[in-house]
Amino acid sequence: MPDGTENDTLDVMDVLGPSGIVARRLKCYEERPQQLEMAQAVEAAIRDGQHLIVEAGTGVGKSFAYLVPAILRGVAERSRSGNKRKPVIVSTHTINLQEQLIGRDIPFLNAVLPLEFSAVLVKGRANYLSRRRLNNALARSASLFGDDRDHLELQQIAAWAARTSDGSRSDLDFRPRASVWDEVQSDSVNCRGRQCTHYDECFYFKARRRIWNADLLVVNHALFFSDLALRRQHASILPDYDVVIFDEAHTIEQVASDHLGIRVTSGQVEYVLRKLYNDRTQRGLLATGPYAFLRRSVNTARGLARDFFADVRQWIEEHAAKKQETTNKQRANENRYAAETVRVRQAPGIADPLTPHLAKLAQRLRDAAEDAPDEDFQLDLRAAADRCDALAEQIDSWLTQRIPECVYWVDTTNQPRPRVAMSCCPIDVGPILKEHLFDSVSTVVMTSATLATARGDFGFFRSGIGVTQAKELQLDSPFDYRKQATLYLAANMPHPKERASFEQRCVEKIRHYVSQTHGRAFVLFTSYDMLRRCADALRPWFTRQNIELLVHGDQLPPSALLERFTSSDAAVIFGTDSFWQGVDVPGDKLQTVIITRLPFRVPTEPRSEARRERIVAKGGNPFIEYQVPEAIIKLKQGFGRLIRRRDDSGQVVILDPRIHTERYGRLFLESLPKCRVVVDED
């Protein structure tokens, strides 16, 4: 144990100060005044029961700045409250950051701090294997699975179950099919609890025991807001807490919105019915036994679902505004796989025989469970009934627009066959978060490298999430951007509204700047359509230059694209939304970031449109109050992909002329790190 400081008087200065524990243990220690200032602010917020917003530039060392006071609070809470203690929650948006915290930062602090603490990565229940359900799936595999690959994967999972200590899906060395994992995952309804013969060795309940005894819980935003949604219904996933810390906090409004609404798809309905009975393969839960009546009921539901979602598509085609229809047809002609999104402003009045039939099917499944031959099969039937009821409830809520203060819309796609998704979310999550988070929890710390707009204004972020009382802190990056980065602003560019000429000039500029670094570039787009057109135009040139062109949305997922990029000496990624943020490529692998357009959200996107209408109704200016601030924060995210370490260097290129031709352009420039700026006059 390190010497010099008693546990009961330890504070962040003792740990992170110039002569603190971390400085004494790290040979390559670099003093970071911004990190210490942030850590002291987090410590004070926890001590005083206040909320805190911190924008901390790249390189500040945010994770240590909030982990150290979080750990000190967690240990103090254990000493004071014993078994009734409340853990500190740390929530992140990306898996990469979670892995950094759990795999690197927390183990280091555990090794150097003169106190014992426990930190647990919290995963959703569906991530864990159920030994009982695995045994049942193995026994009934002939009726459940008709595909050889499904049988093979089930055997691989069984072999893994005998040796894994974690029992979560991420511990598997392959990604199982959803159809297989769904049959073996832990499920709240399909669980016997303490009556299960596998209870003592159950992976999920072992994880729960660790969670309830931990000082620090690391979760992702999706799980956190799923828990918050349940708390509104007097249930929960997480233990109670008084302190929550959000890293990557710029994403919490979007994630909260997603988890406080509804999304039900034609694929979900088909999947649930297929798991019950697939008349083509004659596989499923009801494939054998005296369940002919239930099998017919499932087939009827499948036909009703097919007709219902076809009616939804037809209604959308008939009721969408002509301008929207024209736009969608043009988009579909350019990309036959393009998704169509149409807002639904009032209850559509579509005939709905599907919902009552799903409810009847659920009751019939419960009736069948009463006479099931064994308890395991009873649980399977009741779990299936719950799924049918949940689908019926979601469809009915969406059709009747029963949830107030929400925006409703439909997404349709033809890839690889017709699909329909019906969604809704709160127009403004701020009031919900204010009531159920900020007014209910003593301390909420929100940090990111991108929370403020021009001149350090946090107003847009605060209003979006509903926090009214919070201290603010803005910390610059310790990196020397004037030496490390050059910002090029392309002049003499057509306005983006002149699509063909603007994209032609973008192609020329991309070719010019990519050739300077022979690849090693991200080209960031705001739409797939423009990305694909530019990729098609440049593909022959990239081939001639022996530069690998990696296109987001082709076949590889973003993680695989990034892996290919970092392993290549000459590659370029053409990326959309997911490459603007959360992507970390340090070193000389990335030397150029090209931003084709200022990242304004598509004006017809339902959530954005509803927010703008709400602002107008209150007498505000939606462009200045909403669209510009939102785009500024996203631009800061895109700019931030370039400089990730103290020895990184390179160039950011903005091709959109509006940044220096429109009055609001200066707000974008003022929000970026101070660096060398060059106007490219060709």
> How far is it, in rounded angstroms, from Cα 560 to Cα 544?
24
Q: Residue 267: its pLDDT value, please?
A: 94
Q: Residue 95: its pLDDT value, please?
A: 84
Q: Give 531-543 pLDDT, tens digit per residue.
A: 999 999 999 999 9
Q: Residue 201: its pLDDT value, please?
A: 93
Crossing angle for the helix pair 292-319 and 354-370, to the nearest 10 degrees: 160
Ranges in the chain annotated CATH 3.40.50.300: 481-680
Are 278 and 143 in contact, with CB atoms under 8 Å apart? Answer: no
Give the residue carrying structure tokens 């203060």. 405
Q: Residue 372: its pLDDT value, please?
A: 85
pLDDT at 101 over 80: yes
Burial class (CB in 10 A: 0-12, 13-18, 19+), 271: middle
For the chain, how many residues are written? 682
Give the residue carrying structure tokens 């949940």. 390
Q: Residue 28: its pLDDT value, please?
A: 80
Q: Give 556-586 pLDDT, tens digit per residue.
A: 888 889 999 999 999 999 999 989 998 889 8
List Cα–Cα distances, 672 to 486, 518, 593, 632, in angstroms: 12, 26, 14, 9
Taking the CA atoms of the chain, what radius of gyration do you get in angstroms?
A: 27
Are 420 and 395 in contact, with CB atoms under 8 Å apart? Answer: no
Are 66 and 42 in contact, with CB atoms under 8 Å apart? Answer: yes
Q: Give 57-86 pLDDT, tens digit per residue.
A: 999 999 999 999 999 999 998 888 776 789
pLDDT at 328 over 70: no
Q: Which amino acid is at 61?
A: G
pLDDT at 327 over 60: no
pLDDT band at residue 320, thresholds of 50, 70 and 90? low
Judged by average pLDDT, the poorest of 8-22, 385-399, 629-643, 655-669 is: 8-22
> How far is it, in rounded angstroms, from Cα 460 to Cα 621?
13
What token pair was written down for 398? Answer: 């969406």
Are 355 and 395 in contact, with CB atoms under 8 Å apart? Answer: yes
List Cα–Cα distances, 605 to 222, 324, 408, 612, in angstroms: 22, 11, 11, 11
Judged by average pLDDT, the poorest of 189-193, 320-324, 623-627 is: 320-324
Name, in order, each residue with C-beta under 8 angstroms of 346's C-beta and a sequence gap of 6 or more: 401
Q: Residue 26: its pLDDT value, please?
A: 84
Q: In what order do the strands lie in the sheet with 340-343?
A: 262-265, 419-426, 406-413, 340-343
φ, ψ at 365 (rounded to 5°): -65, -40
Q: What is the mean pLDDT of the chain?
A: 91
Cis peptide before 416 (omega within 30 of 0): yes
pLDDT at 332 over 90: no
Give the residue carrying structure tokens 């029961």. 49
φ, ψ at 573 (rounded to 5°): -105, 125
Q: Residue 56: its pLDDT value, please?
A: 97
Choice between 322 and 658, residue whose per-residue pLDDT is larger: 658
Query: What's the pTM value of the predicted model, to 2 decimals?
Result: 0.91
Nearest one of 512, 518, 525, 570 to 551, comparing CA atoms: 525
What token pair was written down for 325? Answer: 């229809």
Are 367 and 382 in contact, with CB atoms under 8 Å apart? Answer: no
Give the best-scoring range by mean pLDDT among 1-10, 226-235, 407-416: 226-235
Domain 481-680, CATH class in plain words:
alpha beta
Residue range 285-305: mean pLDDT, rounded: 94
Q: H or E stretch including 656?
A: none
Nearest one of 6, 95, 20 to 64, comparing CA atoms: 20
Q: Residue 331: its pLDDT value, please?
A: 45
